[in-house]
Structure 1
Amino acid sequence: MNAEQHESGSWYWEVGSEQCPHGPEPDYDTQPEAWDIWIDRHTGSPQDVRICLDAPAGEACLQCSEDDGEMVPWESCRIREHARPKQGVVPNPGAEHQPVTVLVGTLECLDRECDEYFGDDGDEIPDMESCSHIREEQACSCQRQDDGEYSNDPCPARSLSVTGGTA
């Protein structure tokens, strides 16, 4: 499985859940007009359940959710790379564009669950700072997201500060 297969997408609550505002499916034979209206707002899903298009549950990793059979929030995707600030690195709260050193890797590696953190006996290796799958990068404080991670969206200030070269 690779990161290209993992993408963010909307996830919806099932028909009949408390979040679905439409109630149960009307009988087509006795209420065809009500059924037509109802069916326009409900559809099948890759998990073979009917979902309500008026009851979004949030952004999910579509591949992890399909694998698990339940919603996996996008920020919890196990395969895609995440960027978290290096321990002890905190940008100044008032600085709009400040360099931040981030550690980039999968959740397994960032959460110290990778096999490299453990010896042959299964005990954690106490002095290991990070596994070989994690790399350090520079981000900008403007790229910080609500969950504390950093996006890979370009910083507008960095693109303006490129100098040098010849015309």
Structure 2
Amino acid sequence: MHKPIPFYAEAGTSGCPHGTDGDHPRHAPGGEIWICLDTPAGDGCDTHTDDYGYGVLWADCLDGAES
């Protein structure tokens, strides 16, 4: 089913409270980067990606807006 999923900010960025420690228990692999599970960045599309392979924001997903 087409639905929004949470997107998280990259670990070690300004919103991450844990710094750049990749081994932190609240950091997880997010494709090619590590993400911080304590820094939600909004909802994304669980089905579509952009031309670069990144997830599409839910608000930008035309299929998601209709479902």
Higher helix share: 1
1:72 is matched with 56
Aligned equivalents of 2:57, 2:44: Cα separation in 1? 4
Q: What is the TM-score with the length of structure 1 in the denominator?
A: 0.34
1:18 is matched with 14
Query: % of aligned pairs identical?
Result: 35
Higher strand share: 2
Higher relative contact order (CA 8 A, sep 6+): 2
Q: What is the TM-score with the length of structure 2 in the denominator?
A: 0.73
- RMSD of the alignment, in Å? 2.3
The gaps in structure 1 that reach 5 residues or longer are: 27-34, 83-151, 153-167
- CA offsets, 1:115-145, max 9 Å, x none? xxxxxxxxxxxxxxxxxxxxxxxxxxxxxxx
Q: What is the number of residues matched between the two proteins?
A: 65
Question: Structure 1 pair 24/59, CA: closer, same or farther in 2 (3 Å)?
Answer: same
For 1:79, what is the secondary structure of its paired residue? helix
Aligned equivalents of 1:73, 1:12: Cα separation in 2? 11
Question: Structure 1 pair 22/63, CA: closer, same or farther in 2 (3 Å)?
Answer: same
The gaps in structure 2 that reach 5 residues or longer are: none
